[in-house]
Structure 1
Amino acid sequence: MPRLFPRAPHFPDDGGAEHSVWRALRDHLPDDVVVLSGVDLQDGDVEREIDLLVAWPGVGIAAIEVKGGYIRRVDGEWRQGSGEREHRIDPVDQVQDARHRLQGYLRAHGYGAGAARTVHLVAFPHVAVPDTWGTIDLPRAMLIDRADVESGAGVVSRVRHAVTQHGQGRRPLLPDDVEELVEALAGGFPSQVDNLVAASMHESHSDQLTEAQARILEVLGQQQRMRVIGGAGSGKTWLALEQARRRAKAGERVALLCYSRGLGRYLQRVVDTWPRRERPVFVGLFHDLPVEWGAARGADDDPDHWERRLPLALAELAAARPAAELFDSVVVDEAQDFGDLWWPSLLRCLRDPDEGGLFVFMDDAQRVFPRDGRAPIELPPFVLDENLRSTKQIAQTFSSMADARVRPRGLDGPPVRMVDVPQDAAIATADDCVEILVDEGWPPGSIALLATGRRHPAQVNEVELGGYQAYWDDFLTGDDVFYGHVLGFKGLERTVVVLAVNGFHDVERARKILYTGMSRARSLLVVVGPRALVEEVGGEGMRRRLAGA
């Protein structure tokens, strides 16, 4: 006997129609099948109900609408009853709409069942329908009639045939999909509470692990040049901050640099909380240093200015400054973003270009910009091979794209969700996912929606209205959903990341962009976009990790 939810449903007063179909399913379906009765769907202000829902492992999902009594079709319309009690009904549109809404709900929540073959059927238990009958909107294979119900096994045969021949979806229903479906439709609130509690526990655990990384600086404290290589979430930014703080506290003039605006603002906000004697004298973007020393800022759409002229100007400005205004040490976070031309100019900013302190923290897997600069450090790098930031589920997903082995050190968390939609629907669907997450109880300030291609309209609007500093300050305040782009979010993180895979401007770097975007999530990752594209870019390892998503 299949599993029944609920075990003893309350059936409507329809002459026993729905009960008879349920009984046929109960008596003839295999033991691993699930039958749910009276599945209520609330989509905005629209309410729908699926009379009977069959979840069949290895086959798919069937939504069944049951209509009892005398049913006939006249002039393209369905009619129920007779005489004065006859009225128009629309069972096909009714169950088809409910089925679409169910699939949308499952996909938006990242349930694997959203990708399974799913079909809708109509059942007329009191009407005999010829086998030769059928319409364009209701093939005979999708209609259960009196003969099917009376035989019992006929209902089961009709359901299986309808799913396999007419079901929409890319694959059969997996056993794990069934359990998620039951939890989603027959379970409820407690599992989401568990997710939120697990997220809180994971973030406390991550903080403790990151602080333990400070022992690395103690081991390497006597080095004047150090290159630290680590995957996403390995604690590089924390180490860069701590190295800059320790050098400043020891009395050195220190510069703490990066390339991305968001990370630069984050570094500034963190440093502002330190005692003055522990603060570097310069914290911010590489390109802001020459501007602070007198160079022209230039236009955002002039790449030659940023890639060549401004770095060269930094060397000239450094040569003209008194030694007292140069630095004893320079710390660079996300150093893989720097171009080859930038490093000689940066060394000129040291009081001792040959022996002064240079400490770089980098991840070659996140080379998302078209630069291939190499830090001028000859010593072997110190390698961080543990992911401290993300849950095991997230770390195992994005690390399948890493060149080197990454050991997840995070706690268990909710599964990665995959919402399979066309590329041009990724942003709109990601917006829907954000609403669902907030409804689930995730605080808005814990969620970041990141695009891989064209920027989200909300990001464009916020930057145009308030400028970049206000935009990033709003992110760091953490009061609301953040809308950003993967390229600008490097070095940053949020509890929940909704990654909208809406294309790639640089196809050759698509894999690195996907890796970077996924690795921004600490506790929950929701990937929205074409599954086929994500698996093509991510490779076989990604396909395996997303098999049940």
Structure 2
Amino acid sequence: MIINDSASQVENTSGAIATVAEKRIVYPPANAMSQLRQPLTAGEGAVLDLFMRELPPAWEIYVQPHMNGLRPDFVLLNPKVGIAVFEVKDWDLDAMSYRNEPSSSIGEHTRENVLRAARDGRVFDVWPNPVLQLRRYKEEIHQLYCPRLEQRNGFAVITAGLIFPFAARERVVSLMAPHQTKEERETYCQYSPISGREAISGGLLEQVFPESIRQSSKYMNSDHADDLRGWLMEPDFSVAQRTPLEMDPRQRSLADTRTESGYRRIKGPAGSGKSLVLAARAAKLAGEGKSVLIATFNITLWHYIRDLVARASDRPGWSNGITTLNFHEWCRRTCHEAGAAWSQEYSELFRSVPERPEDPQSRREWRKRWQPVVDRILNVDVPDLASRAVKEPSVTRYDAILIDEGQDYRLPWWTALRRAVRDGGECVLVADATQDVYGTADAWTDNAMVGAGFSGGWVQLETSYRLPDDAMEMARTFATDFLKKASTDLPKSEQGSLALHPCSLRWVQREPETDTTAVCANEILSMMERAGLDGLANADICLLTDDQQAGAEVVRSLRERNIRAVTTFNDRGVESKRLKMGFWMGDARIKVTTLHSFKGWESRLLVVHVSRAFTDEARALIYTGLTRLKRSVQGSHLTVVCTAPELANFGRRWPEQG
């Protein structure tokens, strides 16, 4: 968010300079407009210029806000007056064929009409209906994002306007009239304004937004504004994508250099920059024209690593030469590249395993009978096959292979991957033994790694740049009390750093077997309220759980409240590779996933659901969840909902009890 001070100059999208007479909130900042994921059109830029010049300064301007998965072009907010949402259409009505139809979208034409237009040499566009879009925005703002607005009179503070910067208003009104209700056209037309090029070119704000002249409304107040702001703010992850990576001298040295042998192993606690070093090294090597494979364990980590590489690179086409795969996907690709016989052998490994059933009882029986078989196939048989197939000359070789979350790998997996490195190539492995959620970290002892290609000891990173100090202290306490491998890899604060990152830590303990669906859903709703007050984005809220079925129930509960969530599992709790591939922190929805799938990620708004803590791997997984909190000068929040009795005493040490 940017607050423009008195008489400051702000560069607008058309390159002109707008002078703001008093303070105004504009989000994203004016200097970030050119870096929006979907760049502003010429018409949107002209509308933004008009709002910056003519709107009273008390009106906040949000451009392409992340509104629970909806993406209007503009939302305007004044805590004393009201809310406005606008869609801007750069349509040239002289350059296209169109007609009105009584359907859910303008221009929903038959195939014959489209073909006829093509034969006549006419452009024929299928348009989403902007009137229906605006109606949807308005209804959701009233019903969901400002739930404290009056049921009957709340609509009186919400304007939903349509702007055509390059078309005459008279033609636009005629085109849209069949899709508007009588109330929208006549009775309450000031709340559904339609404007054209005359208003934009003439700077006539009162035509674009008639309610802008209002000074106050008895139906609007700061509480409603706080409710809405949480839905308007851009996710922290999206903001971070526009900023270059910041690295300390040690991290920079590791990213810019290689060892004499080309092999390097790095370990460090959560938030110490291991993935950052890996990404920066990949960017440097790719910039030198070398081919790089970044191997992860989790599918969900792909997006995160690629975004880090993009931030580390200063060149266009940064992804050229970089391949990002999780280990088992690399195995599958390797077998397919090796030839038909290898591909057939790969397929045969899974042929005896029946599909996982959908109903819960059958699924439990399937897990008991077949999960050990699947685990052996994935952990032993597939890597062994890939280790042999990679020797085929048709398999892709790389100048460098970089492995993230190496503690999750087994030593034979590393051996298989090494064979895909060209002679004289480079291998980098980073790991954190305290996050040993699969019980594999013992494979990476110095004795076990004899012959693995490394010489010398591990490079140690110690400082955590992720965790707020209070959260770091609780994570250290948990590791000391519950983890076996916590002696050397605990996070440490920056030397001389000040406590500039406030955070709230809340523990909610429930009895075993408690249905925590409502508890988790209510904690998410509570965090949404906090986000609005602190100027944080609801889209940064993440629920992490060790129970897929419980997570699916929370998703269903949120959906009943019309709150959308992006998740890595479906309602039946079955993990889906496709959903994992689509899991991205920049998504405008609330995130719900497993603790396993969130390894490597971070967020400043976390709800962690814990149902078990009786094994070493389960406790390592909990530690991983506690260390996902990202510090922020605006504050961060971590709530743990726990039904594991082993952790009750630990939970009592937390500052806030639920």
Q: What's 2:492 paired with?
A: 407
Determine which of 462, 486, 490 is the counterpart of 2:599.
490
Q: What's 2:400 paired with?
A: 329
Alignment partners' CA distance in 1, 2:641 and 2:625: 12
Alignment partners' CA distance in 2, 1:319 and 1:543: 55
Q: Conserved in 2, the CA contact under 8 Å of 1:445 and 1:480?
A: yes
Alignment partners' CA distance in 1, 2:402 and 2:605: 29
Cα gap change, 1:390 to 1:331, in 2 (>3 Å): same
Alignment of 1:456-475 (within 5 A): 456-457=551-552, 458=555, 459=567, 460-461=569-570, 467-475=576-584
Cα gap change, 1:446 to 1:473, in 2 (>3 Å): same
Determine which of 512, 521, 526 is the counterpart of 2:629.
521
Q: Conserved in 2, the CA contact under 8 Å of 1:210 and 1:388?
A: no
Alignment partners' CA distance in 2, 1:453 and 1:226: 36
1:239 match: secondary structure: helix
What is the Cα deviation at residue 530 of structure 1? 4.0
What is the Cα deviation at residue 363 of structure 1? 0.6
1:356 match: secondary structure: strand
1:432-474 per-residue CA deviation (whole Å, 9 max, x = no partner) reads 1001212332533111101123441135326989943345424
Q: Conserved in 2, the CA contact under 8 Å of 1:260 and 1:285?
A: yes
Q: Conserved in 1, the CA contact under 8 Å of 2:310 and 2:318?
A: no
- Consecutive unaligned residues of structure 1, counting only runs of 5 or more, are 1-187
Alignment of 1:46-85 (within 5 A): none
Alignment partners' CA distance in 2, 1:212 and 1:331: 18
Determine which of 408, 422, 430 is the counterpart of 2:520.
430
Amino acid at match of 1:493: E
Cα gap change, 1:530 to 1:340, in 2 (>3 Å): same
Alignment partners' CA distance in 1, 2:251 and 2:333: 33
Q: Conserved in 1, the CA contact under 8 Å of 2:462 and 2:492?
A: yes
Q: What's 1:225 paired with?
A: 263
1:73-96 per-residue CA deviation (whole Å, 9 max, x = no partner) reads xxxxxxxxxxxxxxxxxxxxxxxx
Cα gap change, 1:379 to 1:519, in 2 (>3 Å): same
1:90-143 per-residue CA deviation (whole Å, 9 max, x = no partner) reads xxxxxxxxxxxxxxxxxxxxxxxxxxxxxxxxxxxxxxxxxxxxxxxxxxxxxx
Determine which of 446, 450, 462 is the counterpart of 2:544.
450
2:476 match: secondary structure: helix
- Which has the higher Rg, Structure 1 or Structure 2? 1
Cα gap change, 1:474 to 1:288, in 2 (>3 Å): closer
Amino acid at match of 2:434: A
Does residue 1:216 correspond to 2:251, yes or no?
A: yes
Amino acid at match of 2:471: I
Cα gap change, 1:329 to 1:351, in 2 (>3 Å): same
Q: What's 1:244 paired with?
A: 282
Q: Conserved in 1, the CA contact under 8 Å of 2:398 and 2:422?
A: yes
Q: Conserved in 1, the CA contact under 8 Å of 2:435 and 2:624?
A: yes
Alignment partners' CA distance in 2, 1:535 and 1:292: 46
What is the Cα deviation at residue 401 of structure 1? 3.2
Q: What's 2:474 paired with?
A: 397
Q: Conserved in 2, the CA contact under 8 Å of 1:209 and 1:388?
A: no
Alignment partners' CA distance in 2, 1:406 and 1:286: 27
2:402 match: secondary structure: strand
What is the Cα deviation at residue 490 of structure 1? 0.4
1:253-309 per-residue CA deviation (whole Å, 9 max, x = no partner) reads 211001111112433455578633554442110111121231436659511221111
Alignment partners' CA distance in 2, 1:191 and 1:526: 21
1:150-193 per-residue CA deviation (whole Å, 9 max, x = no partner) reads xxxxxxxxxxxxxxxxxxxxxxxxxxxxxxxxxxxxxx999999
Amino acid at match of 2:592: Y
Alignment partners' CA distance in 1, 2:582 and 2:570: 15
Cα gap change, 1:362 to 1:546, in 2 (>3 Å): farther
Alignment identity in percent? 19
Alignment partners' CA distance in 2, 1:202 and 1:392: 21
Q: What's 1:258 paired with?
A: 296
Does residue 1:378 correspond to 2:455, yes or no?
A: yes
What is the Cα deviation at residue 428 of structure 1? 2.7
Determine which of 311, 315, 318 is the counterpart of 2:387.
315
TM-score by length of 1: 0.56
Q: Conserved in 2, the CA contact under 8 Å of 1:230 and 1:384?
A: yes
Q: What's 2:616 paired with?
A: 508
1:477-531 per-residue CA deviation (whole Å, 9 max, x = no partner) reads 3211111111111001122110011225x62223211110111122211111248
Q: What's 2:376 paired with?
A: 304
Q: Conserved in 1, the CA contact under 8 Å of 2:437 and 2:621?
A: yes
2:515 match: secondary structure: helix
Alignment partners' CA distance in 2, 1:466 and 1:530: 23
Q: What's 1:420 paired with?
A: 509
Alignment partners' CA distance in 1, 2:268 and 2:435: 10
The size of the alignment, in residue pairs, is: 354
Alignment partners' CA distance in 1, 2:657 and 2:579: 40
Alignment partners' CA distance in 2, 1:318 and 1:385: 36
Alignment partners' CA distance in 1, 2:458 and 2:525: 44
1:235-264 per-residue CA deviation (whole Å, 9 max, x = no partner) reads 211111111111122222211001111112
Alignment of 1:80-95 (within 5 A): none
Alignment partners' CA distance in 2, 1:401 and 1:412: 21
